[in-house]
Structure 1
Amino acid sequence: MAAGDASISRREVLTGTTAVLGGIAGCTTTLGTRGSTPVSMLAAGSLNNALENGLKPRVDATLQVEAHGSAEVARLVAAGQKDPDVVSVSDLALFASPLQPPWFAEFATNAIVVAYNADTEGGQRIADAGRDGWYRPLLGGEVALGRTDPDLDPLGYRTLFVLELASRFYDADADLRDAIPRRRQVYPETQLVSQFETGAIDAAITYRNMAVERGYDYVELPAEIDLSDPAYADNYATATYELPSGMVVEGGVVNYASTVRHESPAVFDVFDAHVTGDYLTDFGFTVPDDYPRFTGNVPDRVTN
Structure 2
Amino acid sequence: MSSLNLSKWDLHKHKVKSATKISIVILAVLASLLQINIKGEKTIMQVFHAGSLTGPFSKYATFWTLLNPDQIIDNEGYGSATAIRQVTELGRQADLVGSADYSLIEKMMMEKQIPGTNINFSSWYIIFARNKMVLAFDPRNNPPFLYNLLDHVNNWWEILALPEVTFGRADPWQDPCGYRTLMVWALADRYYNLTKDENPQLINLTLFRKDPMMGYSGPGTTLVKAKEIDLVASLKAGEIDYLFIYESIAIQHHLSYFEFDDHCDLSNFSLEEFYNKVKVSRASPLVPGEGSPPKKAKTIQYGLTIPTLAPHPIQAIIYLQFILMNPQFIEGMGLKPYSPLYASDTTKVPAPLKSLCTDYPLA
Q: Which category of TM-score, normalised to the shorter sequence, fits these structures?
A: 0.7 to 0.9
What is the rounded CA distance, in whole Å, between the counterparts of 1:175 and 1:78 in structure 2? 38
1:259 partnered with 2:305:
yes
Give secondary structure in 1 for the equivalent of 2:339: coil
Give the partner amino acid of 1:279.
F
Q: Give the 3 Å change call, closer, same or farther, for CA 212–286 of structure 1 in structure 2.
A: same
- 2:12 aligns to what? none
Q: What percentage of aligned pairs have identical amino acids?
A: 22
What is the rounded CA distance, in whole Å, between the counterparts of 1:135 and 1:245 in structure 2? 26
CA contact 2:161–2:206 (8 Å) conserved in 1 = yes
- 2:335 aligns to what? 285
- 2:268 aligns to what? 229
- 1:109 aligns to what? 130
Give the partner amino acid of 1:159.
T
- 2:43 aligns to what? 37
Which stretch shifts more, 245-254 or 110-119? 245-254
Q: Give the 3 Å change call, closer, same or farther, for CA 35–213 of structure 1 in structure 2.
A: farther
Note the alpha carbon deviations across 1:84-132, whole angstroms, 9 max, x for none.
11000011111221111211111111000001122334x2524432385
Gaps of 5+ in 2: 1-6, 9-15, 66-70, 111-121, 196-200, 213-221, 283-289, 356-363
Instruction: Give 1:75 shift.
Output: 2.5
Give secondary structure in 2 for the equivalent of 1:41: strand
Q: Give the 3 Å change call, closer, same or farther, for CA 21–119 of structure 1 in structure 2.
A: closer
Q: Give the 3 Å change call, closer, same or farther, for CA 19–116 of structure 1 in structure 2.
A: closer
1:276 partnered with 2:325:
yes
CA contact 1:145–1:202 (8 Å) conserved in 2 = yes
Count of aligned positions: 287
- 1:177 aligns to what? 204
- 2:243 aligns to what? 204
Q: Give the 3 Å change call, closer, same or farther, for CA 242–202 of structure 1 in structure 2.
A: closer
CA contact 2:306–2:313 (8 Å) conserved in 1 = no
Residue pairs, 1:113-192, within 5 angstroms? 113-121=134-142, 123-130=143-150, 132=152, 133-172=155-194, 175-181=202-208, 182-183=211-212, 184-187=222-225, 188-192=227-231
Kindly report the root-mean-square deviation, in angstroms, between the aligned alpha carbons of the 2 structures. Answer: 3.0
Q: Give the 3 Å change call, closer, same or farther, for CA 89–272 of structure 1 in structure 2.
A: same
CA contact 1:114–1:205 (8 Å) conserved in 2 = yes
Note the alpha carbon deviations across 1:192-223, whole angstroms, 9 max, x for none.
12212222111101000010011111011111
Which stretch shifts more, 132-141 or 280-289? 132-141
Which of 42, 47, 52 aligns to 1:46? It is 52
Which stretch shifts more, 67-76 or 251-260? 67-76
Instruction: Give 1:139 shift.
Output: 1.8
Note the alpha carbon deviations across 1:47-86, whole angstroms, 9 max, x for none.
112212x212221332111011112122232214322110
Higher relative contact order (CA 8 A, sep 6+): 1
Instruction: Give 1:288 shift.
Output: 2.9
Instruction: Give 1:302 shift.
Output: 2.2
Q: Give the 3 Å change call, closer, same or farther, for CA 45–127 of structure 1 in structure 2.
A: farther
Which stretch shifts more, 227-236 or 56-65? 56-65
Give secondary structure in 2 for the equivalent of 1:151: coil
CA contact 2:34–2:315 (8 Å) conserved in 1 = no
Give the partner amino acid of 1:88.
G
Note the alpha carbon deviations across 1:280-299, whole angstroms, 9 max, x for none.
01111111332x22222112
- 1:4 aligns to what? none
Which stretch shifts more, 107-116 or 125-134? 125-134
What is the rounded CA distance, in whole Å, between the counterparts of 2:206 and 2:92 in structure 1? 37
Larger radius of gyration: 2
Give secondary structure in 2 for the equivalent of 1:97: helix
Q: Give the 3 Å change call, closer, same or farther, for CA 119–171 of structure 1 in structure 2.
A: farther
Give secondary structure in 2 for the equivalent of 1:59: helix
Q: Normalising to structure 1: TM-score of the pair?
A: 0.84
Which of 82, 96, 106 aligns to 2:106? It is 96
Which stretch shifts more, 140-149 or 38-47? 140-149
Give secondary structure in 2 for the equivalent of 1:64: strand
- 1:6 aligns to what? none
What is the rounded CA distance, in whole Å, between the counterparts of 1:88 and 1:40 in structure 2? 11
Give secondary structure in 1 for the equivalent of 2:319: helix
What is the rounded CA distance, in whole Å, between the counterparts of 2:224 and 2:281 in structure 1? 18
